[in-house]
Amino acid sequence: MKPRKTDSRLIQWGSWVALATVFSIACWFLSQWQFARQKEVVAANNIIIKNYDADPVPIEKILKAKDPWRKTLEFKPVSLTGQYIPFDEYLVRNRPNNGNPGFLQLVAFKTLSNNIFWVDRGWLPTGSKSDKPDLVPALDEKTRTIVVRLRANEAPNGRTAPLRELPNIDLSLASKDIETDNVYLQGYGRLVSETSPLARGADLGEPDLTEGNHLSYALQWLAFALMAFGAVFWNISQDRRRRAGLKGRKLKILTQDKDAEIEDELLDGKN
């Protein structure tokens, strides 16, 4: 028994609706993923806003050498007293600043409690004649108190670097020659100030707190889901008209020329 035309038509329409449903479900999940990403960015920005200008506290009060890193510590100001270790310093490669290539000067700092903490002492531009800064600020071993903002350790990126340079701020790699276990490996500090100040690299300034395009992307995915059903119902309507012997409707898209024609007609009517 052959299927009736009405049955085949309903099967075709049903397949269109099913396809649009699957597509829309996928769009919904993608939109929720973007909403979640936007929520994460906002939460991270709020932590930075809360921490950035807070009064510094001794680092041992909020973070010890063996403690795990906490996201709530990002850009938290802390103070340390001790001395730099001039022979434990590195240049961190591939650190652009305002579109200019450069490096960070990363130096080990030994606290009075015999812990080792890594300090980012600022940005140095790439030299004019070689792939190194023209000048790297010199250090001494004088006891001083420094204030830094905490940053999380960076995961290994698999790249290599020349001697006394690092591909990124991987503190385990930086600490491989340090003969003590009392090393902060979960985070380092971006220098804010120091007593008996030394020459240093440029400050990188406040972090970028923009939220990105996650919200607009989420709304776009929801719009795509609605458009899918709109396209299905439009095609069903067109199919019904064709089967009824009627011409299909045309979408009226106003172009610049069409706008001009309408404007001329309005002006002619007034005359």
Q: What is the pLDDT of residue 191?
A: 98
**50-57: average pLDDT:** 95
Mean pLDDT of all residues belonging to the chain: 86
**Domain annotation covers residue 88:** yes
**Domain annotation covers residue 95:** yes
**Domain annotation covers residue 6:** no
Beta-ladder partners of 124: 103
Contacts within 8 Å (CB) and 24+ apart, 53-56: 56/147, 56/192
The answer on 185 and 243 residing in a single domain is: no
The answer on 262 and 161 residing in a single domain is: no
pTM of the model: 0.74
**257-262: average pLDDT:** 56
Q: What is the pLDDT of residue 1?
A: 47
**Confidence class of residue 254 from pLDDT cuts 50, 70 and 90?**
very low
The answer on 184 and 99 residing in a single domain is: yes
The answer on 184 and 235 residing in a single domain is: no
The answer on 185 and 225 residing in a single domain is: no
Give the pair of three-digit tokens for residue 163. 């001697």
The answer on 181 and 109 residing in a single domain is: yes
Lowest mean pLDDT among 34-43, 111-120, 191-200, 206-215: 206-215
Q: How far is CA 48 from the centre of its chain?
A: 14
Domain span holding position 265: 11-37+213-270
Lowest mean pLDDT among 78-92, 194-208, 229-243: 229-243
**1-26: average pLDDT:** 74
The answer on 186 and 84 residing in a single domain is: yes
Tell me: pLDDT of 259 over 90: no
**Domain annotation covers residue 207:** no
**Domain annotation covers residue 27:** yes
**Domain annotation covers residue 150:** yes
How far, in Å, CA of 71 to CA of 45, rounded?
11
Query: Which of 167, 194, 221 marks a domain boundary?
Result: 194
How far, in Å, CA of 234 to CA of 202, rounded?
60
**Domain annotation covers residue 204:** no
Dihedral over Cα of 73, 79, 85, 89: its sign? positive
